[in-house]
Amino acid sequence: MHAQGIGTFTEPNSALLFGRYGSNLYVVTPAKIIELKDVTEDGAPAFFRVPSLARTLDRVAWSVEKADHAVIGIYTLRDQAWKSFADVCFGGGGSAVFSPDATKIAFVSKAPSSPINEVCPTADQTVLQILDLVTGKTTMLSCCGWVLSARPSWSPDGKEIVLQHLSQIAIVETETGKARTIADGRYPSWSPKGDWIAYFDLQITKCFLIHPDGTGAKVVRETGRGFGDRAMIYGAVWSPDGGKLLLNEEDNHEHIRVVMLDVATGSATTKSTNGLAVLDWVPAN
């Protein structure tokens, strides 16, 4: 299958994860395309929160919404098999993301009701959790108000996680759960070098960069809301070297254009039009 035939593209020495709500997922490298199979609901591709590709290139972590609940789990590329590790309230499974060393997964879910079979709590009662894939232990870091649809993003050293808290960008220490806010915005993403955090404004028409200490905020891309109602979706995706960003820009809730932004120069290149969104980017040497 040719990459462009499914609305994707390739980058040298890279593995890119593609998809969109209600579609299959694809891992695309210059050498091959892997379609993630058999994660379906009633025979149709399952609706998922934004997934994450492990830097080891062997697993994808994601949350899938089923008929009456949500399931958070891992898809193993070699076995083409799905294994769940958490069942949560309907609509309560947030995006799941691998730590830089691929030994842990951070995810957001609704706090369990008590007793467990009662109606789930309101949307703002959510917790940030970390699953240790070696020990199988899950640690609850904090509650409440973490956004389910915005994927958490680890710092390169694995000591902190940035995510959306209501309408703010917050950084949480993975050991203590202590949090601090650095900006108003949505969908944050930490750069591989650790020097910048990319995020969108509340109208999801501007992409900002900000240092983790909350300084140096600047706009690096703006779509505007003119004809076509263009908005940024899924969050910014960093290149493995931290020099570029891939941005998914959706026109009128229909067509997705992927734009590559050079962080140093600000130059933008359109990589695909009316195709799938790019969801993750890891090295594939």
> pLDDT of 34-72, one tens digit each?
998 766 656 666 677 889 999 999 999 988 777 667 788
pLDDT in tens, 220-259: 999 876 444 778 999 999 999 999 999 999 987 778 999 9
Mean per-residue pLDDT, 146-168: 94
pTM exceeding the 0.85 threshold for the entire prediction: yes
Structure tokens at 197: 């955090």
pLDDT at 227: 43
User: In this model, does residue 153 exceed pLDDT 90?
Assistant: yes
Pull the structure tokens for residue 44: 């149709």
